[in-house]
Amino acid sequence: MNKDWTKDLEHDEYEHDVDLIISDALLSIEETKVGCFVNLVTSVVFGNPMDYLQPLIQELYAEHVRIKFIDQCGCGGYVLRVWKLK
């Protein structure tokens, strides 16, 4: 995506499959162009993505991304913003 965007990883099959959340989150980061961000909206079922997703993103992308936990949505999910730097 050549713009800021949001990937919904919160509903349907995502509510039952943390591996799918992780793989689609990583794919979304790959699809995001440098200088843009993707909001990863994750299911409440697996808890705060800072516990299971952020460490993996940091390990894989290191200085290529910046991550910020935005908040828990009113619907229960969580928003993790990932900026693509390089």
**CATH code of the domain containing 33:** 3.30.110
**Cα angle, residue 45 at apex, residues 43 and 47 outer, rounded to 5°:** 85
Neighbours of 5 (CB within 10 A): 13
Which residues constitute the domain of residue 39? 5-84
Q: Is the pLDDT of residue 18 over 80?
A: yes
Residues 84, 33: contact at Cβ < 8 Å? yes
Q: What is the pLDDT of residues 2-15, one digit of tens each?
A: 999 999 999 899 99
Task: Write the pLDDT tens digit of every residue in 34-57.
Answer: 999 999 999 999 999 999 999 999
Structural domain count, the chain = 1
